[in-house]
Amino acid sequence: MNLLSFLFLVSMVAKSSQLTCQNNFRRPEYTDISVECGTSLISLAILICPVVYTGYNESLLILNHIFDKPECKGTLDESTTPPVVRFTFPLNMTNACGSNFVTTSAAGTGIFADFSNIQTVNVSGVVHSHDPTTGVVTYNAELKYYYSCAYPLEYLINNTQVEVSASSIAVRDNNGSFISTLSMDLFSDFNYTTPLVIPPLGLELRTNVYVQVQAANLTDQYHVLMDRCYASISPHPTNSTFFNLFVSCSKDQMTTMHENGDSHHARFSFPAFRFIEQQNQTVSTYYLHCITRLCEISTCNDFKQCNNRRRRDVRSTGLSESTTLSSVVPILTRNENSVSSIDPGSDSRMGLGIALGVLTLVIIVVLVAAAVLYRKLRHF
């Protein structure tokens, strides 16, 4: 170690004495990194005190070997106890500070058992130490902090985390979700500009209902693709009567697809219907549910092909809990048969019928009386 390197390390130790390290001025541990897998950003937080203890500072922690981009450098945050170095970068293939994007596919399970290809994108990388020593040997241990975020591209929530440790290496795997970017809205017009207002007595049957599933603040590399949309009597469709509007390429003949897998929103429409088991009720009430995936722009066309999204027998394996995107407001339709109709001319017809009945009765009475009188006259 030369003189310059020695002076540099002395300056770092002097700076570390100003940090609030307390019990964290120690050797690095695998728990020193935390990862937040957001919908548009990934954030890393690394405890700085063990870094300084090893002989480095925040400027010597390099994200994915990128030295020349200021937005990829760590920032010291002393407002927390203990202090940390923060890295924040966008969730985008083109400028994710050198992160690796790997998409894997597997057969669907549980509520997604209808689909043979469920994708997950894994975003990973490493923050490593840069040793300023220029001599032949160094006394500083190498630090490596691995991170990984797994995003299921079929819309379910499954947040778990696994931590793996090794000597001077920290690995943190998290599951993220894009579910918070999604919304489902109902409209009354083909242009999707007028929200659907459902009257208290329900929509008339065959009223067109326009449905839009949209992703907000989503990275440009993905489009929204609906795999299945269905209606159920219960807001929680388990063990409830349901009706499939479409599943993959198979759709009800009354359902019309307008856009799917081409942008950040997907759209379809259907005429309002009612469930037969609610025929004795004045209003039929049901909820919409859509299983939606994100597809990378380069692969969206593949998922639109029927052979890649073929239906399979539904077998629930119970491997994961899932949440589908559902309409908050129920759809109400009017049961036309339960509404009484009154004919304006019914009163007059009823009066005429009564009059004819009375007249008939009078005629019968007169005829009977005449017959009796005739018989008596014959006896005289």
CATH 2.60.40.4100 domain residues, the chain: 180-338
**Residue for token digits 């549910």?**
289
Closest to 203 (Cα-Cα) out of 329, 340, 335? 335
Which pLDDT value is given to residue 116? Answer: 58
Q: Over pLDDT 70: what percentage of the chain?
A: 68
Peptide bond just before 82 cis, omega within 30 deg: yes
CA atoms of 183 and 217, how far apart (whole Å) = 12
pLDDT at 313 over 50: no
* Mean pLDDT taken over the chain: 75
The answer to whether 8 and 57 are in contact (CB under 8 A) is no
Closest CA to 149 of 110, 92, 111: 92
Q: What is the pLDDT of residues 80-98, one digit of tens each?
A: 888 999 999 988 777 889 9
Six token digits for residue 139: 């006394």
| Average pLDDT of the residues in 183-193 | 91
Helix, strand, or coil (residue 360): helix
Q: Is 234 left (phi over 0), alpha (psi -120 to 50) or beta?
A: beta
| 144 touches 131 (CB < 8 A) | no
Measure the CA–CA gap between 176 and 171, rounded to whole angstroms.
16
Among 213, 265, 273, 268, CA closest to 242: 273
Instruction: Determine the Cα–Cα distance for residues 128 and 274; give it in Å rounded to an integer.
Output: 61
Confidence of residue 352 (pLDDT cuts 50, 70, 90): low
**pLDDT, tens only, 1-16:** 444 444 444 455 445 4
For 194, other C-beta atoms within 10 Å of its C-beta total 11
- Could you give the C-alpha distances from 33 to 43, 75, 172, in angstroms and in order? 10, 14, 7
Give CA angle at 295 (292, 296), nearest 5°.
Answer: 160
Q: What is the model's pTM?
A: 0.61
Q: Which of 159-163, 199-203, 332-336 has the lowest average pLDDT?
A: 159-163
- Cβ neighbors of 28 (< 8 A, separation 6 or more) are 50, 51, 53, 54, 141, 143, 168, 170
Most confident of 56-70, 111-125, 136-150: 56-70
Q: Torsions phi, psi of 228, nearest 5?
A: -155, 135
CA-wise closest residue to 218 among 261, 182, 192, 186: 182
Q: What is the CATH number of domain 3-177?
A: 2.60.40.3210
CA dist list (Å): 114 to 22, 106, 246, 322: 54, 12, 12, 14
Residue 55 backbone dihedrals phi, psi, to 5 degrees: 115, 15
Q: How confident is the model at residue 215 (pLDDT cuts 50, 70, 90)?
A: confident
Average pLDDT of the residues in 53-78: 92
CA 29 – CA 109 distance, rounded (Å): 36
DSSP secondary structure letters along 203-270: BPTT-EEEEEEEESS--TTEEEEEEEEEEESSSS-TTS-EEEEEETTEE-TT-EEEE-SSSSEEEEEE
Q: Which residues contact 111 (CB under 8 A, 6 or more apart)?
A: 156, 291, 316, 322, 324
What does residue 65 show for φ and ψ, rounded to 5 degrees? 60, 25
Q: What is the pLDDT of residues 280-290, one digit of tens each?
A: 888 888 888 88
CATH superfamily membership of 180-338:
Zona pellucida, ZP-C domain (2.60.40.4100)
Which part of the chain is CATH 2.60.40.3210? 3-177
